Structure 1
Amino acid sequence: MKHYLSTLVLLIGATVMAMAQPKPIDNLFIAGPHPVNEPAFGKVANIKGDVFAADELLKMGIPYSNLSLINGSVCGNDGKPDNAWKRTESGNGEYIFTANSQSASIAYALFFVDAGSFTKGSLSVTSRLQLEVYVDGAKAADKSSGEEAKSAKAQLKLTRQQHQVLVKVLIPKEYKDTAKIAIKLDVPEKQREQLAINSAKRLLTINDILEGVKVASTSISPSGKYTSVSFSKVDPQTGKANRFTKYFSIASMKEVYSPKGSSACEWMPTGSRIWWMDANNDNALTTFDFETSETKVIAKNLPSQAWMRWAPNEEYVIATIEDEVKIEEKGPMQQIVSPEDRQPGWRDRSFLYKIDLKSGIKQRITFGNKSTYLADISADSKSLIVTVNSEVYTERPFSTTSIYRIDASSFKVDTLLKDQKFIGSVKLSPDGKTLLVLGGPEAFNKIGQNVKKSPIANSYDNQAFLYTIENGKVEPITKNFDPSVDGADWSIDGKSILMQVSERDRNTLYRYDIASSAFNKIATSCDVVSSFDFAKEADGMVYAGQSGSYPSVAYYYNPSNSSTVTLADPAKERIAQINLGEMRDWSFKAKDGSTIEGRIYLPPGFDPAKKYPLIVNYYAGTTPTERNFESRYPLHLYASMGYVVYLVQPSGAIGYGQEFSARHVNAWGKRTADEIIEGTKKFIAEHPYVDATKVGCIGASYGGFMTQYLQTRTNIFAAAISHAGISDITSYWGEGYWGYTYSSGATANSYPWNNPSLYVGQSPLFSANKVNTPILFLHGQQDTNVPIGESIQMYTALKILGKTTEFVTVEGENHTIVSYKPRIAWNNTIFAWFAKYLQGNDEWWNELYPKKNL
């Protein structure tokens, strides 16, 4: 993998070098020499009066670039070994080339360097020959020819990433002396253990997390014969992510042809066909049949800005279209009519339209002052299930949902459920008699609530309910099922329900059998399922997901024999190059007897006899920190930098049962912080390889709040990082776009006026004087979830108190840092802060943020 940056990375690997003195490069790859000839008419002066100089020959030759080291071999853009490069070893760093007496020639010396942390150093290449030194494709040093052996010296800033060093040497025609070079690398002694040259295995980098082809989602045709896999790939030059889709035959598991322009498409309700809107053909609704290879235009001039869904009988589509009628404030004065009115687009309204594909007639189905949403279409295509949400600001959860059944022909409305609280998605059973409703434990008058010790359940702990339309009977089918239901759908025969659930720190699949009320877990080949789809006309399912130590993969699952086949594994070759440390589970018994789960990440080449700094990570909010390899906080990456990482899952998270998740309500750190502190102390005590004086912690959003709150409760941390953290629960509650709605669950029935002890007592800002740990505040400048003022006020308080703190904002970013280049810079800031306080190396931080005389 190549990255053209102005800096060079040196990572840990196979050959560790002590570098108190300049150290010879003892192995590299050599290509050539390749002959180069002077141009014709070289002795004729050009328009400037210059004749061709022999030194200009060095500009010729093979433009080697985009090279990478894969499993010990130099590979080109295609990832395949380039046999032009031969590995050569030299104990003293001197390399001899064979001169060509018939013509001048160019020889190439190449090596890859990796480093575990930021280091400044230099590279010297000594020779009597003319040469140039390139670092990641950019010229870093050069030297003219001469009798005396002199050095070309490149000053390097070694950042954490694999890079290449290429030396290009010109050997003159009829060169009589020995054509040789000597290469030495000079870095400070304290970084010597971080360096390796041409390692067969390399360390994980942030680029591995962000770049390369990644599986985004999967879907399967109703026939079960074909599947689609959507991928994404970031362009490092532009930072933009490009999405594309491939289609595979289930029978052969090989990619099949799909027409141009069909990448953003969906499956038709039946068969093996896909459909898409062809903007280049009068916005034509177009289909392609994989079994017959037939492309067909169904209708033209359909609405361009609309979300479409096909009726099962394929006679019509339902279009969701944004209404043209709008109420906008004009002039400098802007009236805010509700808390939600601050959000862009809140005043927009969308309604449903029916487009008959045979006649082309377009009819409006819904009207009014509230948007209407299509939840489902009945299996016989005769009715629509529609939902409408309304704000109710005087009682939590501050909104209600009404569910209607609308006749698809007459548009006659039948109200099924009116002004229900705590309910979300809805699916109609194939026989049209039952609704599958997902919602919080308090939905349907708390019939699904299962808490005994806690007065209020966690409203984010999603439950599944069966609502019988005829008699209004509600069955809470997951009341005694610990996982939280993220998504669910009926089987084609209506006898079972397939569920995607949060189960502890995993995301798994279950099939619920309605007759027996039994949950049957579906064995998956990954820890965290991100998407799934099952065939409507045959047995078969596809899903995608990743694991704690492996990126996302797409799979096909055959229910008849419970077998799984890999559809797409784009990271396979990349992961094979990387030396990952071990991940293992570690739990402890809290003082109240609760089991608090967690995970350990160890550095590659871990030695239990050594002492390692420790990073403690947590979210501590409503959801667990899942076993994602390519997460926003990549724990394997932290470990690869020489840290032991402890991930702790304290009380309050969903996926562990309602009683456990209810501990989040009206807590704001009361129990959670104690568990993190207790877990950290026990972890250190049970793992003697942890340096108890070098312990850091990091969290974001609610985890950023937890970082701040922890520092008011303990001094066990040597460094802390809060990204987008909440410092004052009251200001977050009122100012964040979703502050008061999130608090309807987190601080249920508690408000600044009726529970000030919670809003003030648990806010880190009001205990800022107790903080002694150096804290780094990170925040996106455009954060609408947790406004940037939350970091500003805590940073200001700590500066007034004379505490050690830094504050770095990310331009143009919201709550999470998503853009490619800012995300790399943001991660490097995190790495540099921990390196400064946990590894005693402040060079990286000082390079990123040099002292300003202000």
Structure 2
Amino acid sequence: MRISSPWTTKNKLLKQAATFFALGSFSLTAIAAPLDKSNIEFIGPLGENMQVKPFQTPHGQAIINNLLEQLQRNTQSVSVFGKKHSWQPFNKVNALTLGGLQALKFNIETRRFSQGTLTIKGVESAQLFIDAKLQKGDNHTYSLSLTNGSHSVILVAQQVANWNNVSLDFEPNADTDNITINTSTTQRLSAVQLFDAPTVSGLSLAPDAKQYVTSTRSYSNKTANQANVVTELKNSQNQTLYRFEGQQPSNIAWSPDNKFLVYTLGNELKQLNRKNLSIKTLAEGLEGASNFNFYDNSSLIFSWSKSPEDNNSLTKHYKGLQDRWSYARNVSQLYMLDTHSGLIKALSQGPISHSFEDAHTNRGKVLMSRQVMVMQASTHPETELVELDLQSNKITSFGKFKTFNHAKYVNKDVYVVAGPDFKNGAGRALPKGMLANNYDGQLYLLSDNGKNVKALSKQFDPAIGELHVLDNGDALIKVTEQDTQPLYLFDLSKQRFKKLNTGLDIVEQFSYSHERNPQVLLSGTTASTPQQLKRLNISKNKTDLIWDSKPLAYANTQIPTLEEFNFTNKDGVEITGRVYLPTNLDKTKKHPALVYYYGGTSPVTRGFTGRYPFNLWAENGYVVYVLQPTGATGFGQKFSAQHVNAWGDYTASDIIQGTQAFLKKYDFVDSKKVGNLGASYGGFMTMLLATKTDMFSASIAHAGISNLTSYWGEGWWGYLYSGEASKNSFPWNNAKLYSEHSPVFHADKVTTPLLLLHGDSDTNVPIGESLTMYTALKLLNKDVDLIEYKGADHQIFARDKRFDWWNTMLAYFDKHLKGEPQWWDAMYSGK
């Protein structure tokens, strides 16, 4: 046992043992050592005139829970009933009994998973909280299991006979369970911070930019898996005008005349008067209604879907490929609602769903898209773009397209976002004979009712995503540019793209005004800074900060250092990447590393957090290398087109070469302690790499594909995705592609320990993909584990599952890359 903090002891033997422990030359686990009081803070008495203590009431725990939040804050004092109380070192306290409540506070720092017993002596009634969670103990003795990181400890004492006799003793379970205690306000980044921190989950800017709506989502131990969402209407000075309590609004839309804000609340459509904040109900019974847009000041266009009645049949006769989808038989049509009378009229009808693209009020036209037929048996279902004349009800078709994302009016023409193959390859910028990757979005201008097309982005490498049109016809677009997602302005008159200065790597959401000099409200992050809300003046190309989550949730938090690391592969192509370095990394020592990738059609973007928390991994002692292998969008059409019919060929080579280059540059990384992981297509890559190289010491595949044929046939969107990834290739005409690139066909070559993670309700990549690989490797007597998450689909969303999932990955790597199996054993040994 090694203990880093000083101990205060009265026993000479304990003092000698502590010296040995600190030097690492003596190991003894049977001794419980008192924690140093100088590293513990004390506050009290709080509410000293309290005649009845909380534990003497039927609401005792609720009273303590409400006080806890104030005690947790990194402030020097706490105000209670008008009296200010300051924190002081516990070793300075010289009191017998005190009135009211008292509290102790300190941090436990661990550098590995540690277990032990904390015993609190001299306290008759108290509650112990670690990381804001109430601990259950017997006679003030608590069994602790602490993950690698910083842990806040608060003891709320209600009854103490003599504070001089109060002590806190920690007895580790083993000599490896090393803890340090301190009162520092600085902490290491934690999983709880990354998940629970408040984030802007919705935003909408008024046409005149004088008001905006934001929804902020956060989580806590109290709400568990239930998010706490707060939606507010604010003015341009960021003052709250109205706060939505209880049920939260959705489908927010602003009237063009700037008088009203409409939104749905349950199945009702509400209207809020922006001047006097009065609210009235416009319509009821709108179950299945969504996507409300003002057509003019007194009417809205929206989508209204209808699910078929459940006939409780014992069988289901499939009508087509899409019928596997749970929503395939839902039909959605467009409707128009009059805000004065509440009358609703249908704009589209029939067995085929229609989607709203845009409306042109001056011309009385509505732009819609629809599938050509129900249940199309095609790897590239056709989408038809049509225009509805509201006066004559005449429908004009602009064409049927194998690739189509969305469309918007621009004057008399139409902007379209689609892949390079749109309109017979109008957007292709590829060598002859090379197949395009139609996930690489391009911008087009359609004119003369779709007869003429002009490709606008053939020489623009970023992939076009979300599109909006300003009043002057310029396009405001969100793109994927390498591993960033910035905003660009397409100047229609000059036919050129201009990058907007948002100061963010990833623009998550944005909304714009309809002024002469439009403004943009946007939220996003960088790779090393958490979410911010900003207002952008397009003409000045300058942003103002409105809201920042860092001081709210990440104050005094250590964030890893980020470095750019690119290399040139064997084909002479630069492969970009980035490296996260743990805080205060000692480069004279060797450290374990993790290599992360996706390998599908999208790059791994530079979000501060997400499903795969690179910053958290780094703060857990790993050097983290993230690379963008060949085939991703955002690097130009030729780069993304190499994803087609490759299924890991270029990607695996890039990952292997990139890891070799990474190890050469970062010589403080232990080449024998490198792990790799990926999800979905990245999970497929992890399995495939395990059949090609033994350079990794441990591997994790989440929701990975082991057999291309079964994924193609069983995954809800398997055949659709394969329509690009395996373009024109099928099991019957290219069996070699499907077999030779499927990891399970090469399972006998695997030598690396492999962890398979999968949700048992995954419809995108069915769990059978992991079961197949697990079966093969088990029969081959390979080192393989399979963890199945109950009720989880392709992604792990629920808070409790997310924490368990993150812990599982780190515990597995700690076992194999750090030689620390205790965390993994605590989670799964004997289960």
| TM-score for both structures, normalised by structure 2 | 0.89
**Of 301, 306, 325, which aligns to 2:289?**
306
Alpha-carbon deviation of 1:363?
Answer: 2.8
Give yes or no for the alignment of 1:114 onto 2:106.
no
Give yes or no for the alignment of 1:823 onto 2:789.
no
Give the equivalent residue in structure 1 for 2:319: 337
C-alpha distance in 2 between matches for 1:616 and 1:755? 32
> Contact 1:483 / 1:656 at 8 angstroms: preserved in 2?
yes
Give the equivalent residue in structure 2 for 1:832: 811
Give the equivalent residue in structure 2 for 1:248: 234
**Of 719, 723, 732, which aligns to 1:740?**
719
Give the equivalent residue in structure 2 for 1:617: 596
C-alpha distance in 2 between matches for 1:772 and 1:614? 19
Of 380-389 and 747-756, deviating more is: 380-389
**Residue type of the partner of 1:30?**
F
Aligned length: 797
> Contact 2:323 / 2:375 at 8 angstroms: preserved in 1?
no
C-alpha distance in 2 between matches for 1:655 and 1:59? 53
Of 464-473 and 735-744, deviating more is: 464-473
Deviations 1:336-371 (A, max 9, x none): 121110111211212223334455543322222211
Matches for 1:342-491 after TM superposition, within 5 Å: 342-358=324-340, 360-380=342-362, 382-390=364-372, 397-417=379-399, 419-429=400-410, 431=411, 433-452=412-431, 455-469=434-448, 472-491=451-470
Distance 1:513 1:75, change over 3 A: farther
Give the equivalent residue in structure 2 for 1:536: 514
Give the equivalent residue in structure 2 for 1:49: none
Distance 1:841 1:75, change over 3 A: farther
Alpha-carbon deviation of 1:159?
Answer: 2.7
Give the equivalent residue in structure 2 for 1:45: none
> Contact 1:665 / 1:748 at 8 angstroms: preserved in 2?
yes
Alpha-carbon deviation of 1:507?
Answer: 0.3
Alpha-carbon deviation of 1:277?
Answer: 5.1
Alpha-carbon deviation of 1:206?
Answer: 1.1
Give yes or no for the alignment of 1:510 onto 2:488.
yes
> Contact 2:114 / 2:145 at 8 angstroms: preserved in 1?
yes
Matches for 1:464-613 after TM superposition, within 5 Å: 464-469=443-448, 472-494=451-473, 496-539=474-517, 540-613=519-592
Deviations 1:24-54 (A, max 9, x none): 32411112357989989x9xxxxxxxxxx99
Alpha-carbon deviation of 1:283?
Answer: 3.9
**Residue type of the partner of 2:477?**
M
**Residue type of the partner of 2:321?**
P
Distance 1:608 1:482, change over 3 A: same
Give the equivalent residue in structure 1 for 2:15: none
**Of 683, 688, 692, which aligns to 1:713?**
692
Of 548-557 and 466-475, deviating more is: 466-475
Deviations 1:497-522 (A, max 9, x none): 11110001000111111222111110
**Of 638, 651, 654, which aligns to 2:617?**
638
Distance 1:216 1:166, change over 3 A: same
Give yes or no for the alignment of 1:295 onto 2:295.
no
**Of 267, 270, 273, which aligns to 2:253?**
267
C-alpha distance in 1 between matches for 2:720 and 2:265? 39
C-alpha distance in 2 between matches for 1:59 and 1:676? 53
Deviations 1:603-657 (A, max 9, x none): 1111111211001111111000000112110000000001100001110000000
> Contact 1:229 / 1:554 at 8 angstroms: preserved in 2?
no
**Residue type of the partner of 1:402?**
E
Distance 1:308 1:702, change over 3 A: closer
Distance 1:771 1:542, change over 3 A: same
Distance 1:393 1:645, change over 3 A: same
Distance 1:851 1:478, change over 3 A: same
Of 803-812 and 383-392, deviating more is: 383-392
Give the equivalent residue in structure 2 for 1:158: 146
Matches for 1:608-757 after TM superposition, within 5 Å: 608-757=587-736
C-alpha distance in 2 between matches for 1:284 and 1:613? 55
Of 348-357 and 726-735, deviating more is: 348-357
CA RMSD, Structure 1 to Structure 2 (Å): 3.4
| TM-score for both structures, normalised by structure 1 | 0.86
Alpha-carbon deviation of 1:122?
Answer: 2.5
Give the equivalent residue in structure 1 for 2:94: 97
Identity in percent: 30
> Contact 2:118 / 2:144 at 8 angstroms: preserved in 1?
yes
Q: Which has the higher contact order (CA 8 A, sep 6+)?
A: 1
C-alpha distance in 2 between matches for 1:397 and 1:438? 19
Give the equivalent residue in structure 1 for 2:35: 24
Give the equivalent residue in structure 2 for 1:7: none
Deviations 1:214-233 (A, max 9, x none): 11232211112222222112
Distance 1:24 1:164, change over 3 A: closer
**Residue type of the partner of 1:478?**
S
Distance 1:35 1:743, change over 3 A: closer
Give the equivalent residue in structure 1 for 2:775: 796
SS at match of 1:550: coil
Deviations 1:576-627 (A, max 9, x none): 2211120111011111111111110011111111211001111111000000
Give the equivalent residue in structure 1 for 2:11: none
Give the equivalent residue in structure 1 for 2:128: 134
SS at match of 1:682: helix
Alpha-carbon deviation of 1:845?
Answer: 0.7
**Residue type of the partner of 2:195?**
L
> Contact 1:458 / 1:662 at 8 angstroms: preserved in 2?
yes
Give the equivalent residue in structure 2 for 1:214: 199
**Residue type of the partner of 1:247?**
L
**Residue type of the partner of 1:499?**
I
SS at match of 1:97: coil
Alpha-carbon deviation of 1:533?
Answer: 1.7
> Contact 1:224 / 1:538 at 8 angstroms: preserved in 2?
no
> Contact 2:102 / 2:158 at 8 angstroms: preserved in 1?
yes
**Residue type of the partner of 2:205?**
I
SS at match of 2:436: coil
C-alpha distance in 1 between matches for 2:650 and 2:670? 26
Alpha-carbon deviation of 1:414?
Answer: 1.7
> Contact 1:123 / 1:155 at 8 angstroms: preserved in 2?
yes
SS at match of 1:179: helix
Deviations 1:226-265 (A, max 9, x none): 2222211224343112333223322x23333357678435
> Contact 1:541 / 1:558 at 8 angstroms: preserved in 2?
yes
> Contact 1:267 / 1:273 at 8 angstroms: preserved in 2?
no
Where does structure 2 lack aligned partners over 5 or more consecutive residues? 6-17
Give the equivalent residue in structure 2 for 1:4: none
C-alpha distance in 2 between matches for 1:754 and 1:185? 67
C-alpha distance in 1 between matches for 2:339 and 2:299? 5
**Residue type of the partner of 1:831?**
L
Give yes or no for the alignment of 1:88 onto 2:89.
yes
Deviations 1:815-841 (A, max 9, x none): 001111111111111111011011111
**Of 288, 295, 315, which aligns to 2:298?**
315
Deviations 1:271-325 (A, max 9, x none): 4344335769x94542321xx225364844574442353444223222322347x
Deviations 1:517-575 (A, max 9, x none): 11111001211001112111342111111110122211101123332111222342321
Where does structure 1 lack aligned partners over 5 or more consecutive residues? 1-9, 43-52, 144-151
C-alpha distance in 2 between matches for 1:791 and 1:59? 45
Alpha-carbon deviation of 1:99?
Answer: 2.5
**Residue type of the partner of 1:222?**
P
**Residue type of the partner of 1:120?**
Q
C-alpha distance in 2 between matches for 1:242 and 1:105? 32
C-alpha distance in 2 between matches for 1:807 and 1:461? 34
